[in-house]
């Protein structure tokens, strides 16, 4: 939502004046235009009361376009609070949001995680300036796999491991707003993993008149990007309008060899009619070829800082993959390099489609329905330098094809060690639907809904030959696969994993809201009942379990209250329960077969319980025409935290429930509308005290983790932004400080705090023929070129060997980290047309 400030106030403060009526107070709704095609708002909501029950769908958002409001191009109004880093919120829980005023001025290649980095509690880290290799994120110390992500109302977390790949979601030019609910999911949120809150993204609507937007960018590391969107306007005499967009981007790696190449297309169709009826259809297609950046240990990072990009060993640089495919000995023998960068690609293709629609059935009854479907295929590759082919000939600590019971040959070779390539391929078909009916009768609103999903996910990891040049024969790993040619598994492809998982979700939900004192007081109560059935088959030779079935039945109550003290002040409190079911890879054996353990390197734990969270919040908001501020106290408690653990044999991992934890903290944010000299400052702050409440199982004993600070949970975060925009020239500065982050549950290793600063400057040119709002912009990221470890990618129990609670020695396990991107510049020229 955009905060709209009156032209009178803007003029008195030195801001630009716009033709607009005085902004409404927080207690009075905006008067809506008649539902005619010529005059009505682009979006209309039948009943937009503050709620936490059903606020996920696009039509649940109170996004009202006021007549007479002029934009400065690409959706920028020049008056949103904090330069677009805050909106007017009315929900009875903590919500932060970024809008077009912020999004349109950033590097256009940035992904959604990068765009929300300044919000309270949000700790993000990218690995490249354009965000094309994804990134990582935590909110209040909880990772992105514990957050539920939606686009246009449908879920985009991976259904298997709940990971989020932000580089494939949506182009920033088509993003209208991103809302972060730091503590809880709404009752209608279609998620199985949102124990830490949600991130909901909404696309812009097609324009009423034919036109579009185009831009081109060039920047550091040969970064190039182009974007084109065409808006059809209203089609004939219908209410239907649409847009179609395409973007293409490329970027060299800033450290080590490698490249990213991305092609991305989107479309959206919308039709509004009558009183609050709306049909829409959004489709997103994404294809990418890229090479991975290498995660590093702390010791490798220390070496990298000392030796830079060259590393200490050309075959095994401490922080980068190598440009050298192999070395040749004096006698002509090739030694292939498993760290060769071409052995670590990450090709993938995704198609998302959703159809969020709302129908006003009259008499206070509104039906909202969001059918969706998404398809994905791809995965990351890796090199395995040697692999022992004959089980009987392998030594005790070597890996064999399928264990000692199998002898024979692979591709006719009967013994020896050879370099192979493998990739982790995932193919997902995921249809689903969220439907709900809302009945409003006077002061009461009742919502009844149902979420259904039936996904099928095939996950394979075939081994294949490495070519003479040291590169894979095919990055998709469908060429030159190794096939067992004798023994009981003759004819089978040699694989790291080979499973098929089906997940069926049936989740009814019901909520009721009572609105009293002329909507000054609202009381919400609701219940969601998650019914999830997961079944799968493991096709690896000799699995410990070939077929597995799990069932989860979880009741998730929620409640909230919000009271408006006056036109500007309101208080709220909420409590919610959420759950995250175990990842599907916990169901199966996978990895390499080890003749020492007579099993695979990862063993299943199908009996693993889900992770449960209870989140409580209490807060205060102040909102007037110039200032928006919010302070929120939060507390959450977790039971059954999901964790991947190294077993006592020190070669096998499994998935466990790692006990309980809790956190207390405070979130603060404040932003202003344009002040004197067209300035709009913004600031956010978080204090977080996240603690592990139990000793964690490890090495056949327990680590003394009770009372330790949780990993990935910085105690302090500070965000600051300053926006200047006089309607022609614009500029901005922003800063994020993140305090130290522990990387182990024993708190025996950590990464220091860091500061990251960015700048943008630009100028809007006069109309030039076909181009309505031409603009030039320069984005400078990490302007101090601070080199730092930005995120803990794999927290461990302990990085220093220790003695457990029962006296058993527990060996060290070393966390990995991602290296944040350095200074980068991106120049963009673009315009509406």
With beta carbons less than 8 A apart as the criterion, state whether 599 and 592 touch: no
Adjacent-strand bridge partners of 433 = 371, 452
CA 54 – CA 44 distance, rounded (Å): 16
767 is a domain residue: yes
Residue 235: phi, psi to the nearest 5? -90, 110
799 found inside a domain: yes
What does the pLDDT read at residue 418? 58
* Average pLDDT estimate for 528-534: 95
Q: Is 816 helix (H, G, I), strand (E, B) or coil?
A: strand
Is the separation of the CB atoms in 509 and 451 below 8 Å? yes
Q: What percent of the chain has pLDDT over 90?
A: 61
Judge whether residue 485 has pLDDT over 80: no
| Least trusted range by pLDDT, from 8-22, 352-366, 810-824 | 8-22
Q: What are the pLDDT digits (tens) for 426-450?
A: 999 999 999 999 999 999 999 999 9
Q: pLDDT category, 404, cuts 50, 70, 90?
A: very low
Of the listed ranges 103-107, 526-530, 596-600, 668-672, the least confidently predicted one is: 596-600
Q: What is the pLDDT of residue 3?
A: 35
pLDDT digits (tens, 9 = 90+) for 777-821: 999 999 999 999 999 998 999 999 999 999 999 988 899 999 999
Position 109 in a domain: no
698: CB partners within 8 A, 6+ apart: 645, 646, 797, 798, 804, 810
Domain assignment of residue 507, yes or no: yes
* Local structure of 597: helix, strand or coil: coil
Domains identified in the chain, total number: 1
Instruction: Identify the three-state secondary structure at position 424.
Output: coil
Q: Which residues contact 624 (CB under 8 A, 6 or more apart)?
A: 26, 567, 568
What pLDDT digit, counting tens, does each position of 143-184 carry?
999 999 999 999 999 999 899 999 999 999 999 999 999 988
Buried residues in 277-297 as b, exposed as e (16+ CB within 10 A): bbbbbbbbbbbbbbbbbbbbb
Confidence (pTM)? 0.89
Q: What is the pLDDT of residue 653?
A: 72
CA dist 136 and 387 (Å) reads 32
CA distance 627 to 233: 36
Q: Render pLDDT for 274-326 as a digit per residue (tens, 0 to 9).
A: 998 999 999 999 999 989 899 999 988 988 876 655 544 555 567 888 898 88
**Does residue 796 form part of some domain?**
yes
pLDDT at 410: 47
Query: Each residue of 236-246: pLDDT tens digit?
Result: 999 999 999 99
pLDDT in tens, 312-358: 455 556 788 889 888 888 888 777 788 889 988 888 999 999 999 99
Give me the residues paired with residue 717 across strands. 686, 738
Residue bearing the bigger pLDDT, 68 or 713: 713
Give the pLDDT confidence score for residue 10 in this predicted structure: 33
- Kindly state the tokens that stand for 505: 């979700």
Three-state secondary-structure class, residue 146: helix
Answer yes or no: is 79 within a domain. Answer: no
Check residues 29 and 730 and name the one with the higher pLDDT. Answer: 730
| CATH for 366 | 2.40.170.20
Residue 661 has pLDDT above 50, yes or no: yes
In a domain, 360, yes or no: yes
- Structural domain span for residue 585: 211-832
* Local confidence band at 5 (pLDDT 50, 70, 90 cut-offs): very low
Average pLDDT over residues 515-542: 93
pLDDT digits (tens, 9 = 90+) for 675-719: 999 999 999 999 999 999 999 988 888 999 999 999 999 999 999
Q: What is the pLDDT of residue 515?
A: 93
**Is residue 34 in a domain?**
no
Reported as a pLDDT band with limits 50, 70 and 90, residue 470 is: confident
State the average pLDDT for the chain.
85
Across 369-383, 497-511, 591-605, least confident range = 591-605
Nearest to 212 by CA among 204, 200, 220: 204
């Amino acid at each position: 939502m955009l905060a709209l400030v009156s032209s009178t106030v803007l003029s008195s403060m030195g801001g630009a004046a716009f033709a607009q009526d005085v902004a409404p107070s927080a207690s009075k709704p905006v008067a809506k235009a008649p539902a005619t095609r010529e005059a009505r708002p682009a979006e209309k909501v039948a009943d937009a009361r503050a709620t936490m029950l059903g606020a996920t769908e696009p039509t649940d958002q109170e996004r009202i376009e006021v007549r007479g409001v002029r934009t400065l191009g690409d959706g920028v109004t020049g008056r949103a609070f904090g330069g677009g880093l805050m909106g007017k919120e009315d929900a009875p829980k903590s919500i932060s949001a970024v809008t077009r005023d912020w999004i349109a001025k950033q590097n256009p290649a940035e992904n959604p995680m990068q765009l929300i980095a300044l919000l309270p509690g949000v700790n993000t880290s990218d690995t490249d300036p354009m965000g094309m290799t994804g990134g990582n994120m935590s909110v209040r110390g909880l990772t992105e796999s514990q957050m539920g992500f939606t686009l246009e109302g449908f879920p985009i977390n991976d259904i298997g491991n709940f990971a989020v790949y932000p580089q494939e979601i949506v182009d920033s030019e088509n993003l209208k707003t991103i809302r972060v609910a730091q503590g809880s999911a709404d009752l209608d949120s279609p998620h199985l993993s949102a124990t830490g809150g949600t991130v909901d993204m909404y696309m812009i609507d097609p324009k009423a008149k034919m036109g579009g937007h185009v831009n081109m960018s060039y920047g550091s590391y040969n970064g190039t990007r182009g974007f084109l969107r065409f808006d059809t306007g209203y089609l004939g005499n219908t209410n239907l309008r649409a847009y179609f967009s395409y973007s293409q981007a490329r970027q060299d790696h800033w450290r080590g060899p490698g490249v990213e190449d991305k092609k991305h297309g989107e479309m959206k169709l919308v039709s509004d009619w009558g009183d609050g009826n709306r049909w829409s259809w959004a489709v997103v297609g994404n294809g990418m070829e890229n090479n991975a950046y290498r995660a590093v240990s702390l010791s490798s990072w220390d070496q990298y800082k000392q030796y830079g990009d060259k590393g200490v060993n050309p075959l095994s640089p401490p922080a980068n993959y190598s440009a050298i495919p192999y070395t040749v000995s004096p006698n002509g023998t090739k030694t292939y390099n498993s760290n060769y960068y071409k052995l670590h690609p990450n090709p993938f293709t995704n198609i998302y489609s959703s159809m969020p629609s709302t129908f006003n059935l009259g008499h206070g009854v509104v039906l909202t329905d969001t059918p969706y479907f998404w398809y994905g295929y791809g995965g990351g590759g890796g090199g395995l330098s040697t692999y022992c082919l004959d089980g009987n000939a392998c030594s005790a600590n070597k890996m064999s094809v399928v264990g000692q019971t199998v002898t024979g040959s692979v591709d006719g070779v009967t013994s020896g060690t050879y370099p192979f390539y493998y990739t982790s391929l995932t193919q997902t078909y995921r249809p689903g639907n969220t439907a709900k009916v809302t009945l409003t009768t006077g002061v009461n609103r009742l919502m009844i809904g149902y979420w259904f999903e039936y996904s099928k996910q095939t996950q394979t990891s075939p081994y294949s030959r490495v070519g003479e040049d040291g590169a894979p024969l095919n990055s998709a790993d469908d060429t030159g696969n190794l096939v067992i040619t004798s023994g009981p598994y003759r004819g089978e492809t040699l694989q790291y994993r080979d499973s098929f998982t089906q997940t069926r979700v049936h989740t009814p939900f019901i909520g009721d809201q009572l609105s009293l004192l002329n909507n000054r007081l609202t009381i919400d109560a609701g219940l969601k009942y998650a019914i999830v059935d997961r079944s799968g088959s493991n096709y690896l030779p000799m699995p410990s379990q070939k077929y597995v079935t799990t069932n989860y039945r979880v009741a998730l109550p929620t409640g909230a209250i919000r009271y408006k003290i006056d036109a500007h002040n309101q208080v709220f409190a909420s409590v919610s329960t959420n759950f995250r079911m175990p990842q599907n890879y916990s169901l199966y054996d996978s990895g390499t077969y080890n003749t020492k353990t007579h099993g695979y390197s990862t063993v299943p734990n199908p009996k693993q319980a889900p992770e449960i969270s209870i989140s409580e919040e209490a807060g205060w908001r102040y909102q007037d025409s110039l200032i928006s501020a919010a302070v929120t106290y939060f507390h959450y408690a977790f039971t059954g935290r999901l964790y991947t653990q190294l077993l006592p044999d020190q070669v096998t991992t499994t998935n466990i429930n790692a006990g309980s934890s809790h956190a207390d903290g405070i979130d603060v944010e404040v932003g202003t509308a344009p002040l004197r000299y067209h300035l709009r400052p913004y600031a956010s702050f978080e204090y977080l005290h996240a603690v592990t409440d139990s000793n964690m199982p490890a090495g056949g004993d327990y680590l003394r983790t009770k009372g330790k600070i949780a990993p990935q949970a910085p105690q302090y975060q500070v965000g600051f932004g300053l926006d200047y925009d006089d309607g022609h020239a614009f500029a901005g500065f922003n800063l994020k400080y993140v305090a130290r982050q522990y990387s182990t549950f024993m708190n025996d290793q950590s990464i220091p705090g860091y500061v990251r600063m960015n700048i943008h400057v630009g100028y809007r040119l006069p109309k030039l023929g076909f181009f309505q709002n031409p603009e030039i912009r320069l984005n400078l990221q990490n302007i101090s070129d601070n080199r730092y470890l930005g995120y803990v990618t794999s927290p461990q129990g302990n990085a220093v060997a220790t003695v457990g609670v029962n006296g058993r020695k527990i060996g060290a396990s070393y966390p990995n980290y991602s290296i944040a991107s350095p200074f980068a510049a991106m120049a963009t020229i673009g315009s509406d047309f």
